[in-house]
């Protein structure tokens, strides 16, 4: 019995027991459903073992939407708790667990996979490639991310969730102050997902550098591909810091080392320092692909080429460098002297310059354009003013002397939500709507789409603008309640209404997916938005090999050239196509990783050793395996092409 005690929740509540039951029932229902409809084989062949970048992209997308739901429920609970003073809905411990998991789920398990989803689906198509450089590695990346996310998500029903904030600062996150296994989950689950991300970084850099269609020089790449290249470069340089940091944290928690303790030569501040050495670049990993999406959407629906291509590229490269030079602004108040703080204030404010360049480029693109307001475009248009609020308050926070007033208040919370929501979430929703027809062969309903865009945008303002004021009045973040005499009540009530509005907006998106799946026309063109770049040059649904003939490119808008200037996109004739084989190893290996992580979290050593061996066995098998892929013959290509053209 002793052994099983460790899996109990340290701080249970009826809601948690209810979720346990709900999760149990869902799992049983899924298994029963798959068995009843005899879908196990289909699932295994078509999805679990796939190495196709399009399918992997779609799996990332589904995971991201699920995690958006999970993080959203956390958010609603927090706002409900704070809606009125002295509320008793949640107690302090639950509130701590919820804001911690909310932060991690939203950043690492929602925003990251959403970006990966679009990158996976779009980048190979946009550069005219047949897949990524290392398709099997790509599958491994996805499954590692997925297993990391699952491991993290079971924490609240097995053993207890982390509760030291998504930043998990030591010494609070050390064993002395966080006794439950919650922070172990943090260290291990993020580690597993992070390794996956790091591999994606390498994979996509290689893909973009090596696999572009003939004629596509670096300066002729579409803007989303450029943003992905820069993003993945940041990943490769930033994520190793996280890997090592989490490893050190794990050692402190499980093996009694003293990297971040306050005694025995440890230095607790070092955690905060390295966390942000990774953390600030991380926020740019999130925002740059979003900028890429906006660039695509804005130039498509302003019906003209992107204004200032070179300065767009240049500003991204500068941002990628500057993003590594500013991390200290996250702890201006933790003891550095004026000189140090000033240095980092200046670098921080400098980032606003290239960001501003991008904003003006979009505005100039719109200026001369014939704007057509579709749902993706609506998100882009709503993004510009709302993001500006977030950016300007960021510059305010960047002034170190003033930050003593803002730091750790709701003002900060309002700032980063005002950048992340318009910056990342709107962009992902825009990208989702924009690429939906390519992914699934029908369009999402425009009317419902626009409604949800407006509701989400207005609710974002309602939810977060009040926090600027209550923050300046002194409402601290991460506090589970406040007294009535503080006067924060009304602000928080408005915030709650905004949060509820956001929930309605997202529900409407889900409804839109349902509605359009049922009623939307399946008879759409391969290029329904009259777009400009290569991803729209192939059929819908995209055949496994993407392009029957590799496209020939001579500008960043190859499809537009083909449509308007008689450029010949697909010269030559069909040849047999070499494609990678599916493989179950990435999935199996990631499952082993899951058990490995679980054993690690609970310090169950024998399974840990066994699974470690298992992981190495999987890698060894790969080294000795002879897998030369397969060929798609010319006849098969002809048949597929004819079918797709007929449709």
Binding site for ligand HEM (CB under 6 A): 167, 283, 286-287, 329-330, 348, 351-352, 355, 391, 394-395, 397-398, 403, 406-407, 412, 415-416, 419-420, 423-424
Residue range at the interface with Cu ion (CB under 5 A); choices 26-34, 272-280, 390-398, 403-411: 272-280
Say which entry of ligand HEM, Cu ion, another protein, none residue 169 contacts (CB below 5 to 8 A, set by partner kind). none
Rounded-to-integer distance, Cα 50 and Cα 135, Å: 9
Residues 540-599 that bind another protein (CB under 8 A): none
Write out the two tokens for 262. Answer: 């306050």
Write out the two tokens for 575. Answer: 């040849």
As beta bridge partners, residue 631 has 578
CA distances from 368 to 11, 138, 305, 332, 579 (A): 59, 40, 10, 43, 43
Among 325, 476, 524, 644, binds another protein (CB under 8 A): 325
**Residue placing its CB nearer to another protein in the complex, 246 or 430:** 246
Say which entry of Cu ion, ligand HEM, another protein, none residue 328 contacts (CB below 5 to 8 A, set by partner kind). another protein
In this structure, how many other beta carbons lie within 10 angstroms of the beta carbon of residue 556? Answer: 24
Closest CA to 394 of 432, 369, 422, 375: 422
Residue range at the interface with another protein (CB under 8 A); choices 46-54, 86-94, 122-130, 334-342: 334-342
Backbone angles phi, psi at 630, to 5 degrees: -140, 170
204 binds another protein (CB under 8 A): no
Nearest approach, Cβ of residue 330 and Cu ion (Å): 5
Rounded-to-integer distance, Cα 492 and Cα 82, Å: 6
**Residue placing its CB nearer to ligand HEM in the complex, 320 or 556:** 320
Residue sitting closest to ligand HEM (CB): 394
Among 335, 573, 624, 626, binds another protein (CB under 8 A): 335
Q: Count CA atoms within 13 Å of residue 18 on its CB side.
A: 3
Say which entry of ligand HEM, Cu ion, another protein, none residue 289 contacts (CB below 5 to 8 A, set by partner kind). none
Rounded-to-integer distance, Cα 572 and Cα 582, Å: 29
Nearest approach, Cβ of residue 48 and ligand HEM (Å): 32
Nearest approach, Cβ of residue 170 and another protein (Å): 13
Exposure class string for 80-99: b at 16+ Cβ within 10 A, else e: ebbbbbeeebbeebbbbbbb
228 binds another protein (CB under 8 A): no
284 binds another protein (CB under 8 A): no
Write out the two tokens for 266. Answer: 């440890």
350 binds another protein (CB under 8 A): no
469 binds another protein (CB under 8 A): no
Say which entry of Cu ion, another protein, ligand HEM, none residue 237 contacts (CB below 5 to 8 A, set by partner kind). another protein
Nearest approach, Cβ of residue 265 and ligand HEM (Å): 27
CA distances from 234 to 227, 260, 424 (A): 11, 26, 17
Exposed / middle / buried, residue 522 (Cβ in 10 Å: 0-12, 13-18, 19+): exposed
In this structure, how many other beta carbons lie within 10 angstroms of the beta carbon of residue 173? Answer: 26
**Residue placing its CB nearer to another protein in the complex, 341 or 582:** 341
Nearest approach, Cβ of residue 375 and ligand HEM (Å): 22
Cβ pair 197, 119 in contact under 8 A: no
327 binds another protein (CB under 8 A): yes
349 binds another protein (CB under 8 A): no
CA distances from 585 to 3, 35, 509, 593, 631 (A): 32, 23, 35, 12, 21
Rounded-to-integer distance, Cα 90 and Cα 372, Å: 46
Lookup result for tokens 């053209």: 645
Nearest approach, Cβ of residue 30 and another protein (Å): 44
**Residue placing its CB nearer to ligand HEM in the complex, 431 or 437:** 431
CA distances from 398 to 144, 167, 189, 277 (A): 35, 19, 31, 16
79 binds Cu ion (CB under 5 A): no
Write out the two tokens for 615. Answer: 């992981």
Say which entry of Cu ion, ligand HEM, another protein, none residue 394 contacts (CB below 5 to 8 A, set by partner kind). ligand HEM
Residue range at the interface with another protein (CB under 8 A); choices 23-31, 337-345, 396-404, 524-532: 337-345
Among 120, 231, 328, 460, binds another protein (CB under 8 A): 328
Cβ pair 283, 339 in contact under 8 A: no
Say which entry of Cu ion, ligand HEM, another protein, none residue 269 contacts (CB below 5 to 8 A, set by partner kind). another protein
Rounded-to-integer distance, Cα 176 and Cα 171, Å: 8
Q: Mention every residue, 6+ apart, whose C-beta is less than 8 A from residue 336.
A: 328
Write out the two tokens for 95. Answer: 């509130």
277 binds another protein (CB under 8 A): yes
Among 54, 130, 212, 280, binds Cu ion (CB under 5 A): 280
Say which entry of another protein, ligand HEM, Cu ion, none residue 270 contacts (CB below 5 to 8 A, set by partner kind). another protein
CA distances from 293 to 110, 218, 484 (A): 17, 18, 44
**Residue placing its CB nearer to another protein in the complex, 233 or 378:** 233
Q: Mention every residue, 6+ apart, whose C-beta is less than 8 A from residue 590.
A: 140, 143, 144, 146, 147
Nearest approach, Cβ of residue 420 and ligand HEM (Å): 5
Residue range at the interface with Cu ion (CB under 5 A); choices 49-57, 273-281, 294-302, 503-511: 273-281
Exposed / middle / buried, residue 263 (Cβ in 10 Å: 0-12, 13-18, 19+): exposed
Residue range at the interface with Cu ion (CB under 5 A); choices 275-283, 382-390, 578-586, 599-607: 275-283
Cβ pair 241, 233 in contact under 8 A: no
Kindly write out the interface string for residues 225-264 of this chain, putting x where it contacts Cu ion by CB under 5 A and - elsewhere: ----------------------------------------
Q: Look at residue 369 and give its three-state secondary structure.
A: coil
Nearest approach, Cβ of residue 283 and another protein (Å): 16
**Residue placing its CB nearer to ligand HEM in the complex, 138 or 355:** 355
Rounded-to-integer distance, Cα 163 and Cα 253, Å: 15
267 binds another protein (CB under 8 A): yes
Among 4, 339, 518, 521, binds another protein (CB under 8 A): 339
Residues engaged in binding Cu ion (CB under 5 A): 280
Residues engaged in binding another protein (CB under 8 A): 209, 233, 237, 241, 267, 269-270, 273-274, 277, 321, 324-325, 327-328, 331, 335-337, 339-340, 343
């Amino acid at each position: 019995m002793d052994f099983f005690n460790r899996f109990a929740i340290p701080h249970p509540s009826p809601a948690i027991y209810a979720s346990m039951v709900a999760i149990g029932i869902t799992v049983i229902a899924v298994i029963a459903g798959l068995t009843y409809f005899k879908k196990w084989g289909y699932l295994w062949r078509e999805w679990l073992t796939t190495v196709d970048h399009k399918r992997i992209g779609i799996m990332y997308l589904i995971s991201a939407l699920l995690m958006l739901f999970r993080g959203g429920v956390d958010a609603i609970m927090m706002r409900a708790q704070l809606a009125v003073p002295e509320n008793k809905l949640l107690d302090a411990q639950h509130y701590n667990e919820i804001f911690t998991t909310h932060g991690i789920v939203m950043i690492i398990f929602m925003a990251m996979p959403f970006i990966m989803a679009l990158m996976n689906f779009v980048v190979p198509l946009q550069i005219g490639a047949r897949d990524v450089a290392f398709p099997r590695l790509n599958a491994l990346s996805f499954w590692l991310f997925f297993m990391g996310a699952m491991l993290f998500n079971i924490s609240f029903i097995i053993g207890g969730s982390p509760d030291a904030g998504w930043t998990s600062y030591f010494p609070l996150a050390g064993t002395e102050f966080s006794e439950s296994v919650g922070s172990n989950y943090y260290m291990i689950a993020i580690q597993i997902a992070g390794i996956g991300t790091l591999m994606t970084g390498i994979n996509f850099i290689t893909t973009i550098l090596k696999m572009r269609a003939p004629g596509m020089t670096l300066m002729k790449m579409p803007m989303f591909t450029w943003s992905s290249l820069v993003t993945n470069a940041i990943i490769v340089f930033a994520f190793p810091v996280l890997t090592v940091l989490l490893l050190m944290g794990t050692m402190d928690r499980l093996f009694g080392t003293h990297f971040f303790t306050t005694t025995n030569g440890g230095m607790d501040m070092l955690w905060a320092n390295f966390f942000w050495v990774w953390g600030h670049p991380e926020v740019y990993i999130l925002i740059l692909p979003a900028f890429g999406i906006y660039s695509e959407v804005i130039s498509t629906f302003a019906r003209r080429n992107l204004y200032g291509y070179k300065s767009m590229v240049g500003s991204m490269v500068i941002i990628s460098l500057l993003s590594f030079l500013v991390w200290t602004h996250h702890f201006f108040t933790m003891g550095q002297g004026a000189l140090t703080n000033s240095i980092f204030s200046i670098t921080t404010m400098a980032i606003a310059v290239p960001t501003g360049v991008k904003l003006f480029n979009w505005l100039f693109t719109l200026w001369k354009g014939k704007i057509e307001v579709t749902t993706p475009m609506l998100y882009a248009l709503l993004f510009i003013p709302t993001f500006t609020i977030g950016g300007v308050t960021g510059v305010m926070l960047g002034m170190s002397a003033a930050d003593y007033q803002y730091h750790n208040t709701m003002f900060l919370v309002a700032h980063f939500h005002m950048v992340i929501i318009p910056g990342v979430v709107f962009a992902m929703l825009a990208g989702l709507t924009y690429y939906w027809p390519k992914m699934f062969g029908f369009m999402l309903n425009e009317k419902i789409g626009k409604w949800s865009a407006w509701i989400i945008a207005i609710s974002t303002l309602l939810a977060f603008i009040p926090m600027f004021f209550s923050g300046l009045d002194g409402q601290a973040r991460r506090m589970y309640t406040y007294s009535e005499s503080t006067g924060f009540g009304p602000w928080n009530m408005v915030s709650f209404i905004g949060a509820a509005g956001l929930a309605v907006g997202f529900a409407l998106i889900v409804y839109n997916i349902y509605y359009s799946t049922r009623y939307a026309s399946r008879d759409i063109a391969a290029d329904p938005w009259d777009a400009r770049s290569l991803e729209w040059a192939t059929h819908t649904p995209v055949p496994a090999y993407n392009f029957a003939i590799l496209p020939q490119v001579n500008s960043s808008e190859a499809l537009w050239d083909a449509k308007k200037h008689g450029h010949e996109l697909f010269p030559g004739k069909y040849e047999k196509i070499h494609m990678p084989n599916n493989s179950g190893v990435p999935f199996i290996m990631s499952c082993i990783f899951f058990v490995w992580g679980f054993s690690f979290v609970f310090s169950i050593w024998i399974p840990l050793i066994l699974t470690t061996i298992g992981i190495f066995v999987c890698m060894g098998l790969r080294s000795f395996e002879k897998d030369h892929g397969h060929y798609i013959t010319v006849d098969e290509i002809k048949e597929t092409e004819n079918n797709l053209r007929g449709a």
